[in-house]
Chains A and B, each alone.
Chain A
Amino acid sequence: KNQVEQSPQSLIILEGKNCTLQCNYTVSPFSNLRWYKQDTGRGPVSLTIMTFSENTKSNGRYTATLDADTKQSSLHITASQLSDSASYICVVRGGYNKLIFGAGTRLAVHP
């Protein structure tokens, strides 16, 4: 069954600290994996996309990794800011262009 599992479900960190969010998937075939950021009460916004051949990609303070062999991805946030408080959603595109969404990790950055 095609599934995307994210961990932790929620996370609280202090401003300025780093954190890493995990995404494990069982989607096959695999086309790409995208991380979205969703502010409370808003629609998700894409942060980065990882294709099969990419291992690491950075977007400012966000760095995504992909291990296609173990079917794992991570999103690392460096020097967190209050504005990073949001839900982070991992989405995997599989066969027939089908998108499978993770339930998200809710991140709270406290001052």
Chain B
Amino acid sequence: SQTIHQWPATLVQPVGSPLSLECTVEGTSNPNLYWYRQAAGRGLQLLFYSVGIGQISSEVPQNLSASRPQDRQFILSSKKLLLSDSGFYLCAWSGWDQNEKLFFGSGTQLSVL
């Protein structure tokens, strides 16, 4: 069966510090991978998606970047965090059929102080 792991669960970082959130998927190959951010009271915002190794599409300009060094590994990074980067970050994967669901990780609550 497929599983998705995301870590850490919570993170408190000072402004200006770097960020690295990691997400790995098991039990499937060549998944579509996604990074979302969820602000309180608002819908999930797609940050990045990837259809293959090294292929990253950015949905919104921001202080973050993403990389996919391996087929089932997706990393969200920042060189210098801003206060506005605080939020709940979710990694997700899906197959290629348009009716397929998203499978989400357990999320990372990031607080930038």
A contacts, CB < 8 Å to B: 4, 9, 31-32, 34, 36, 41-46, 49, 51, 89, 91, 93, 97, 99-104
Contact = CB atoms under 8 A, between A and B. Distances in A.
A47 B101 CA distance: 10
Interface of B: 6, 41-46, 88, 90, 92, 98-99, 101-102, 104-107, 109
A9 B6 CA distance: 28
B107 A31 contact: no
B2 to A, nearest CB: 13
Contacts, number: 48
Contacts of B6: 43
B46 A99 contact: yes
Contacts of A43: 6, 90, 92, 104-107
B43 A104 contact: yes
Given A43-B90, A46-B101, A46-B102, A103 B107 contact: no
B101 A42 contact: no
Contacts of B104: 42-45
Contacts of A34: 101
Contact of B43 (A9, A41, A42, A102): A102
Please give me the 4 A-B residue pairs with the lowest Cβ-Cβ distance, nearest first.
A43-B104, A101-B43, A46-B101, A101-B44
B43 A32 contact: no
12 contacts: A31-B99, A34-B101, A41-B88, A46-B101, A46-B102, A49-B101, A51-B99, A89-B43, A97-B98, A100-B43, A101-B43, A103-B42
Given A42-B106, A43-B104, A43-B105, A4 B99 contact: no
B24 to A, nearest CB: 14
Nearest to A31: B98
Contact of A89 (B44, B92, B106): B44
A32 B99 contact: yes
Nearest to B36: A101
Contacts of B42: 103
Given A32-B99, A89-B43, 20 more contacts: A4-B43, A9-B41, A31-B99, A36-B102, A41-B88, A41-B109, A42-B107, A43-B90, A43-B92, A44-B90, A44-B102, A44-B104, A46-B101, A49-B101, A51-B99, A99-B46, A100-B43, A102-B43, A103-B41, A103-B42
